[in-house]
Amino acid sequence: MRSLPKDSLPQDSSAIPASIDRRQFLAASGGLLAAAVPGNALMAEATESMTSSASAPRPKPAGNLRKIPIGVFDPVYEHLSLDAMLDKVTALGLEAMEIGTGGYPNNIHCPLDDLIADRSKAKAWLKKFEDRGVRVATLSCHGNPIHPDASIAKKDIDTFRKTVVLAEMLDVKVIVGFSGCPGGTPQDTQPNWITYRWPPEYARMQDWQWKEKVVPYWKEAAKYAREHGVRRLALEMHPNFVVYNPGTLVRLREAVGEEIGANNDLSHLFWQGCDPVEVIHFLGKQGAIYHAHMKDTVFFPENLNKYGVLNFAFTTSDLDSASETFRAVGYGHSASLWKSIIKAYMEVGYDGILSIENEDPILSGEVGVERAAYVLKNVRSEILGA
């Protein structure tokens, strides 16, 4: 088999010339799409290119760094049964899972109502994971519990509360979700995501949102979780919700308490201009990172320069005019940057998991999970000198 071209390896988009055509860029950054999955000869050759030298001694890890488990978020396997999914996860050598219980991720592999109604069913469900050596590390119920439509809010609040009950039953310590977004006034019927406090009416609406809706709800939610032994609510910093960056995460944490922490999904922070290592140090030193999604973002310079960052692609049909899109880990930024990211998590004492969430429109589904797992396991081994 021919040697793998260097431009087929996971790329850092900053290294791509601004003049490159989008299709050339995608061919470079996603060139492994047609290749077989990690573990074959092609990917074995890639390993040599991703490390400085196959024969060079591995560097010794700095200090007493913890081996952070690598896991996956289950919606990517929505087409598989629980047992078939566990076969896949075990074959990849993954060590943990994030399981959706409802809301946007749905609950394909977790019959929430059945499990909370019957402790024996809940224990039997958990045992399927334990028998494979896979830890259920987090339960996820991303939704909008402060939606101005009361029926939507009630559904998401109920899912959150049931998820808390299940977490208590299973001794799961972290629940992942969104902060939600209310309307801008009591009369609104749809959410209003306000990030800019001018003209003045926007500042008044944002103040009303936080005072009347955001803080009161999360104080109540944190109290409910605490009463059930759950003290880590990992909110994903995501556009269209009131917590969308480290500043708004810290604002809510200070208003509510230390039950509030981050699901540190860097894919949403890359396009906002955040430095991932700085974010990890900033939040990690406060003990405010409770979960970490592993997902990358790639930038398309020729469109970014014309249209700015608020120009995201969610499907392949949008790519020609987009400024950026999600990619599997290592296909938006270099493996060396991801090595720095994982090392930063270790340095701040992060004790959660690295949860692969694949929303890559190019390396879709299981393929993206496999590629991300390959990169993450490789850089983790390099850091630990294993």
Distance CA 358, CA 370 (A): 10
Give the residue from 171, 99, 87, 100 showing the smallest Cα distance to 132. Answer: 87
In the three-class reduction of DSSP (H, G, I as helix; E, B as strand; rest coil), residue 32 is classed as coil
Query: What pLDDT, on a 0 to 100 scale, did the predictor assign at position 64?
Result: 79
Q: Give the amino acid at 310.
A: L
> Token match 């990517």: residue?
76
Contact present, 183 and 192 (Cβ < 8 Å) = yes
pLDDT greater than 70 at residue 325 = yes
Q: What is the dihedral of CA 164, 168, 170, 174, to 10 degrees?
A: 60
Query: Above pLDDT 90, what percent of the chain?
Result: 83
3-state helix, strand, coil in the chain (%, to 5): 45, 10, 40
Query: What pLDDT, on a 0 to 100 scale, did the predictor assign at position 47?
Result: 37
Q: Which DSSP category does 2 fall into?
A: P
Q: Which DSSP category does 273 fall into?
A: T
Query: What pLDDT, on a 0 to 100 scale, did the predictor assign at position 63?
Result: 59
What average pLDDT does the segment 345-361 reach?
A: 97
pLDDT greater than 80 at residue 31 = no
pLDDT greater than 70 at residue 333 = yes
Question: Which tokens belong to 144?
Answer: 């909008």
Query: What pLDDT, on a 0 to 100 scale, did the predictor assign at position 2?
Result: 31
Q: List pLDDT tens digits, range 12-25.
A: 443 334 334 443 43
| 150 band by pLDDT with thresholds 50, 70 and 90 | very high
Mention every residue, 6+ apart, whose C-beta is less than 8 A from residue 291: 98, 138, 174, 176, 232, 234, 261, 262, 263, 264, 352, 353, 355
Rounded to the nearest integer, the mean pLDDT of the chain is 88
Q: List pLDDT tens digits, range 41-98.
A: 323 333 333 433 333 444 444 557 999 999 999 999 999 999 999 999 999 999 999 9
| 349 band by pLDDT with thresholds 50, 70 and 90 | very high
The per-residue DSSP string of 38-89 comes to TTSHHHHHHHHHHSS-SSSPPPPPSSS---PPEEEEGGGGTTS-HHHHHHHH
Distance CA 136, CA 139 (A): 8
pLDDT greater than 50 at residue 347 = yes
Distance CA 302, CA 372 (A): 26
pLDDT greater than 50 at residue 171 = yes
Q: List pLDDT tens digits, range 354-370.
A: 999 999 999 989 999 99
Query: What pLDDT, on a 0 to 100 scale, did the predictor assign at position 5?
Result: 34
E strand or H helix at 163, and its extent? helix 150-170
Q: List pLDDT tens digits, range 216-271.
A: 999 999 999 999 999 999 999 999 999 999 999 999 999 999 999 999 999 999 99
Contact present, 89 and 367 (Cβ < 8 Å) = no
Distance CA 306, CA 195 (A): 22
Mention every residue, 6+ apart, whose C-beta is less than 8 A from residue 230: 164, 167, 168, 172, 173, 174, 175, 259
Q: List pLDDT tens digits, range 277-318.
A: 999 999 999 999 999 999 999 999 999 999 999 999 999 999
Q: Tell how far CA 172 is from the center of its chain.
A: 18
Contact present, 361 and 313 (Cβ < 8 Å) = yes
What average pLDDT does the segment 148-160 reach?
A: 98
